[in-house]
Structure 1
């Protein structure tokens, strides 16, 4: 995501990565784990900041690991990526209010957003190729 220039994203919110796009990038990452790595043990975790109730965050729980590629949007951490079991940063800061298996087809989004996200996902995937 960081290697792609912001103006290349169809889904404009992604151009602010990592700020404000934790849910959408988590869906994209879940799609990658599901389709490219055949991992099915994935949950999308939604948390509310215990210190600032208006702030929410989304990350993945993958095979018991907390995986978060947008945590560095918060000043309380300088980690770019979290991939750890029972992340102290997440569970001391956020109260979990929802956890579910992500819809990696994106068909729960409005059709225009679905097309943009799928297009951006393909672009990111292509950028990963050696």
Structure 2
């Protein structure tokens, strides 16, 4: 899996960006139809879930030698950092339309983390929808 060569901080940054963009889509009704927003939400949420549970959790467990308590503590720290980062991005980026750069960055994340199957397909549809506007 490609994610094994990617640092946990890099993967977490991908998760934060994915969650941020997902949170902004709901306010973009002037840019995207309801169907497009649903498609984007589905792809971003599946990918975020994949990163969180299928990539980050196992990497943390491996990093802490299987110590689930330590891995959980680090995950809580990541969650606090994520909230701060999303707040920072929201302050700097108040428009509802998602810049193409963000969609491209999420696509690059997906290449690094090796998403596959339904998750990869849903994310591809989400990215294509975001970049066509």
TM-score, length-scaled by structure 2: 0.31
More strand by share: 1
Larger Rg: 2
The structure whose residues are more often helix, as a share, is: 2
TM-score under structure 1 normalisation?
A: 0.31
